[in-house]
Structure 1
Amino acid sequence: MALPSAISFGMTVEQYWDGDPWLYAAFRESQRQRDERGEWERWQMGLYVYNSIASLVPALNPFVKKAKPEPYPEEPYGITSSRTPEETAAHEEKAAHEKMALWLMGHGPA
C-alpha cells in the first residue's frame, strides 16, 4: 500500500484518496528532488571540510621551516557563478592587485 509513503512525502490522506492520481507522482518527485539536494549539500559540506583541512596541512608539516596555511576561500563554492565574464575578470584583477600590494608591503624597505 502506498499510503504510508504518500504521508511521508507530505500528502494528506484526503489528497491521497480523493485527489488527482498524478498528485502522488508529483509528491514523490518532489521528495526525490529534496533528497538529491540534501545529498548535494552534504557533499559540498564535506568539500569545505576537506579543503579547510588541506589548507592547514602545510602549516602542520614539521619539516618545513616557513610553512603557512593556505588562505580560506573568500567566496562560497557554487555550481555556476552569477557573475558575467567581465565581472569575473575584474574581480580576479582586483584580487591580484591586492595580493601584490600585500607582498610589497611585506617586502618593502624597512
Structure 2
Amino acid sequence: MRLSPRLTGISSRYPRENFPFQELLPLKLKPTVSGKGDRTSDVACLQEMAILFACFKKNEFNQALCANEVQTFNKCYKSFVDAKQKKKEMERKGDLNPGAKKLTHKQINQLMKRFPT
C-alpha cells in the first residue's frame, strides 16, 4: 500500500534541506542569436479573398460579375507585396531603427557586437 504525503507528514513540494546551486555552464548570453524564430508564414488579404470566393460562388464563378471584388483583392495584394518588399529592403540595409518594437536577428547580433557582455 502506498502512503500519501498527508498521512506521512512529508511535503513533496518543498525539499526539507536547501541544495546549493552548482553552476555547470557559465551564466552568460551567447554572442549571437539565430534567425530561426523570424520565419513566419505570411498570410495576406484573407478577408478580401473570402469575399471574392463568396462572390464567385454566388455568381457561378463568373468573373465579370465580381469585378469590384477582384479589384479590391488585387489592390490589397499589391499593397502587401509592396510592404513586404520595403521591409526586406530595410532588413538588407541592417540599419537600427530607434524605437522599433521588433528587431531582426541581424539587428540583435549587431547590438550584441556593439555591447558585449
Give the TM-score, by structure 2 length: 0.32
More helix by share: 1
| Structure number with higher relative contact order (C-alpha < 8 Å, ≥ 6 residues apart) | 2
Structure number with bigger Rg: 2
TM-score, normalisation: structure 1: 0.34
